[in-house]
Amino acid sequence: MKYFIVALILSTKLFSQNITSDLVLCMPMNGNAQDLSGNSNNGIVNGATLTTDRFGNTNSAYYFNGTSSSIVVSGSTSLDSIEIKDEITISAWCRVDGWYNNFNVFSIVNKYNSTSDWGWDYTIQSPSSSNGQMFIANFPVNLSYYTYTTTGATTLGQWDFYTVTFSKSNGVFKAYKNAVLINTVTTNSIQLESTNNGTLYIGYSPGGPGANEYAKGCIDELKIYSRALNATEITTLYNGGQCSVSSVNEIQNNNSLCSIFPNPSLNQINVKIQANEYISNEIEIDILSYEGKLVRKQTFKKNELGNYSIDLSDISSGFYILKFSSGTYIQNMKFIKE
């Protein structure tokens, strides 16, 4: 296969800001593989299964089995705009559970044209040494490797936020982990190869160097842009920046008993219980920072209406988690405090 690789090789959400400019795909993976960018780049799920996300929300991320599962997005004009502009940002939360045996890789996305055998790819890979490597390749014409220290190491079974940006105009490639810049590479010889309406694969890289490659583990909140985001914008994504204000409420678990509104909130947020009979007589609502620090804890007695309100007037603006618990039922919901 001849293809452009952007690979991050590794060893064994301002919060209320909406980052929508040049957003090509936004797949929060909450109960489905729908695209919320407005471009209708919806995915077809092939063997990937819904699982809990990094906050413990059920049906809010996809698990890939490392041998056959994937999500497939048909080619589109919006996806091709990435190649026309020769600029890209790919970001996703990933939990690497193991490495695919061919090249010890974890495939995040691949855009591929089987007819021309061209494409571009973003993977994580386990190196043979204690240091990681990052490489860019315009295969088979040029292949260059760049190393960085163990600060980029991947811990199996741990959620981390991976981001890569590339811009042909300045020849700069950047790789980030958890919004921290791992390395910068400048090259004048690389470009995003045109796939001519090629298919986008998630968790799977078809026809890689010598064999197909898969992801073993979880992928969540995948976003792809037709521009190179800057460091501030990447930090915003890491801290919970959403595809759009309207999509924030869609982050809720589709099978949940509770919902919250308004979202974003200003001085008060309300919790509505959809199925009151499953809730015990005592309810606890915790407000947690994105880092998991407890900001507020309130206890309520169950009421017939199933409505509960929490004062946010003295809480700083930002991205938070509302944890609802009653008896054995627990639900985490994301919200923005303006």
Structural domains in the chain? 4-246 (2.60.120.200), 256-337 (2.60.40.3080)
The tokens describing 115, both together, are 């007819």
33 vs 198: CA distance, rounded Å? 18
Q: Which residue has the tokens 């490659």?
A: 213
Amino acid at 333: M
Q: Are 226 and 1 in contact (CB under 8 A)?
A: no
What would the pLDDT profile of 93-103 be if each residue is shown by its tens digit?
A: 999 998 887 66
For residues 264 and 261, what is the distance between their CA atoms, to the nearest angstrom?
Answer: 8
pTM, entire model: 0.69
List pLDDT tens digits, range 8-44: 444 333 333 457 788 999 998 988 898 888 888 999 9
Percent of the chain with pLDDT over 70: 74
Where does the pLDDT of residue 3 fall: very low under 50, low under 70, confident under 90, or very high at 90 and above?
A: very low
Q: What pLDDT, on a 0 to 100 scale, did the predictor assign at position 174?
A: 85
Which is higher by pLDDT, 184 or 108?
Answer: 108
H-type alpha helices, 228-334: 231-238
109/224 Cα distance (integer angstroms): 10
Q: Summarize the confidence of residues 84-109 as an average pLDDT.
A: 85
Q: Convert the pLDDT of each residue in 162-206 to its tens digit.
A: 888 888 778 788 888 889 888 787 766 666 767 778 899 999 988
Matching residue, tokens 């915790």:
286
CB-based burial of residue 186 (10 Å sphere; 0-12 exposed, 13-18 middle, 19+ buried)?
exposed
Alpha carbon separation from 71 to 214, 276, 298 (Å, rounded): 11, 36, 40
Q: 312 or 244, which is more confident?
A: 312
Residue 133 CA, chain-centre distance (Å), reads 22
The residue type at 297: K
Determine how β-strand 105-113 pairs with β-strand 199-202: antiparallel
Contact 219, 61 (CB under 8 A): yes
Average pLDDT over residues 32-59: 89
